[in-house]
Structure 1
Amino acid sequence: MPFTAKEAAYLASQPLARLATVDGRGQPHVVPLGFHYNAELGTVDVTGRGMARSLKYRHVQGHPRVSLVVDDIVDAQRWVVRGIEIRGTAVALATGGKEILPHVDDELIRITPERIVSWGIDSDCQAPPLARNVGAGAQA
């Protein structure tokens, strides 16, 4: 699996992320959304209402490169944060969303990680980020 055990637990514990996609003109688009860590596949699945009509879904159909950020604040007074950035390829799927959440549309976006950068998850929140390439494009 592309994620460490602590990263996987963190993803499973968080309700909100921000997804960056790119339109046909190369313009970025960022949107907050809910997500689901798919431990079986090592992917991140994005579901929702109106998914097939959404910009993010249409962008992924034309340009599969995406970035997803999940983060939170551990201590606001000392500005201690933790999070994970997942860069990879996404595919817009016509089915599968209802298997994750029955009240959303069946369409979903599945993100396969290629680069993972995490901070404050595997070690203390003051440690430098842990960055690595994963998946088919990873180099040893």
Structure 2
Amino acid sequence: MTFTAAEREYLLGQGLGRLSTIGPDGGPQSRPVAFRLNDDGTIDISGPANETSRKYKNVQARPEVSFLVDDMTPDDPAEVKPGWGRGVEIRGHAELVTVEVPPVAPDYFSKEVIRVRPRRVISWHLERERDLHSRTV
């Protein structure tokens, strides 16, 4: 199992994340991206003309990536850590694939997607019993 039930629920409820790739100069590059969590635990990242983007070209050259989805917890006292940050970081290997239907906004986004295969998952403030989960998958 790649994600815990809490991580899966959180990721399915979000639509925006940040993909970090390694640029041509060896430095990091981060971009906000739309994504979909797949049933097999992979993440598909899409965008308009994705195949011409710097992030896509970066993955072609160096497929090691980090993908972050985070936000602030609701101020509701019934929630976990009200008013604190929460999120999931996924470190893994990305591959470039072409799909029949774009995973997000099919009328606007391209069929060329970046698919992230998680190798390490770190999450925080998603569950009451533990603040931090970190594991290799």
| Contact 2:102/2:110, CA 8 A, preserved across alignment | no
Cα distance in 1 for partners of 2:100, 2:130 equals: 36
Cα distance in 2 for partners of 1:43, 1:69 equals: 14
AA matched with 1:69 = L
Mapped pair 1:109 → 2:108: no
Percent identity reads: 39
Post-superposition shift, 1:127? 4.0
Mapped pair 1:9 → 2:9: yes
1:1-140 aligned at under 5 Å gives the runs 1-39=1-39, 41-75=40-74, 79-93=83-97, 95-96=98-99, 98-101=101-104, 102-103=106-107, 104-121=109-126, 123-124=127-128, 127-134=130-137
Cα distance in 2 for partners of 1:97, 1:49 equals: 15
Q: Do the aligned partners of residues 8 and 97 (structure 1) sit closer, same or farther apart at CA in structure 2, a change above 3 Å counting?
A: farther
**Helix, strand or coil: the match of 1:6?**
helix
Post-superposition shift, 1:99? 4.5
TM-score, normalisation: structure 2? 0.87
**Helix, strand or coil: the match of 1:8?**
helix
Cα distance in 2 for partners of 1:97, 1:31 equals: 24
Cα distance in 2 for partners of 1:97, 1:133 equals: 31
| Contact 1:34/1:46, CA 8 A, preserved across alignment | yes
RMSD between superposed Cα atoms in Å: 1.9
AA matched with 2:95 = V
Report the count of equivalent residues: 130
Post-superposition shift, 1:9? 1.1
| Contact 1:47/1:97, CA 8 A, preserved across alignment | no
Which has the higher relative contact order, 1 or 2, with Cα contacts under 8 A spaced 6 or more apart? 2
Cα distance in 2 for partners of 1:62, 1:97 equals: 24
